[in-house]
């Protein structure tokens, strides 16, 4: 039986998500409804937990993007695969991501949402591989900084495996 090594436990995640939800609720307390935009698929569990702990009015949307690849090399260019269902013009938006690696995905989305006239665009990510950053993106709410390892669980996968693991684990491709 394959059991990824624990990097961040269920309890640590729960406590951190509580803290993030409390801070976000405070920061947006007087700003009306917050639009949470989850990036599929990896953010679906984080978004579900975070959204349920907010104490402010919120509206949930999802977006899906893909990276252009040349062979197995990711070029950094990103394209939209599925869009939000409602206009975000004039709305306060919080983009919810599972993990920021090079930063290209978040950079592309922040630009796009600002162009569409959002009143504000902030970012929340559970994980950040800070040593791999290629483009600077501002992370307003961060769960944990991690090293350069492949992580799975709590929404994150390796080739669609281990997404529903309750904790964040580290894997090697040879584990599968």
- Residues labelled catalytic: 101
CB of 101 to ligand 5GP, least distance (A): 3
Cross-strand bridge partners of residue 70:
73
- 38 touches ligand 5GP (CB under 6 A): no
Bridge partners of 127, per DSSP, are 99, 144
In this structure, what token pair is assigned to residue 63? Answer: 């977006």
Distance of CA 37 to the CA centre of its chain: 9
Q: Tell me whether residue 49 or residue 162 sits nearer to ligand 5GP (CB atom).
A: 162
Considering the complex, what minimum distance in angstroms separates the CB of residue 9 from ligand 5GP?
17
Alpha-carbon distance of 89 to 78, in angstroms, equals: 22
CB of 170 to ligand 5GP, least distance (A): 8
SS3 111: helix
Cα distances from 13 to residues 63, 102, 140, 174, in angstroms, run 23, 23, 18, 26
Residue 13 contacts ligand 5GP per CB under 6 A: no
Q: Compute how many residues bind ligand 5GP; rule: CB under 6 A.
A: 15
Residues 133-152 that bind ligand 5GP (CB under 6 A): 150-152
- Positions that interact with ligand 5GP (CB under 6 A): 42, 97-105, 150-152, 156-157
């Amino acid at each position: 039986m394959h059991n990824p090594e624990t990097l961040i436990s269920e309890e640590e995640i729960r406590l951190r998500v509580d803290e993030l939800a409390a801070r976000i609720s405070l920061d947006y307390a007087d700003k009306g409804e917050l639009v949470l935009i989850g990036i599929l698929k990896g953010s679906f569990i984080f978004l579900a937990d975070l959204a349920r702990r907010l104490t402010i009015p919120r509206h949930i949307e999802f977006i899906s993007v893909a990276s252009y690849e040349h062979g197995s090399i990711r070029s950094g260019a990103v394209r939209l695969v599925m869009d939000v269902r409602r206009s975000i013009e004039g709305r306060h938006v919080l983009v919810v991501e599972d993990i920021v690696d090079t930063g290209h995905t978040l950079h592309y989305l922040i630009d796009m949402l600002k162009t569409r006239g959002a009143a504000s665009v902030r970012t929340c990510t559970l994980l950040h591989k800070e040593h791999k950053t290629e483009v600077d993106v501002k992370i307003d709410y961060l769960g944990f900084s991690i090293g350069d390892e492949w992580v799975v669980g709590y929404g994150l996968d390796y080739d669609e495996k281990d997404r529903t693991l309750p904790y964040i684990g580290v894997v090697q491709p040879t584990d599968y």
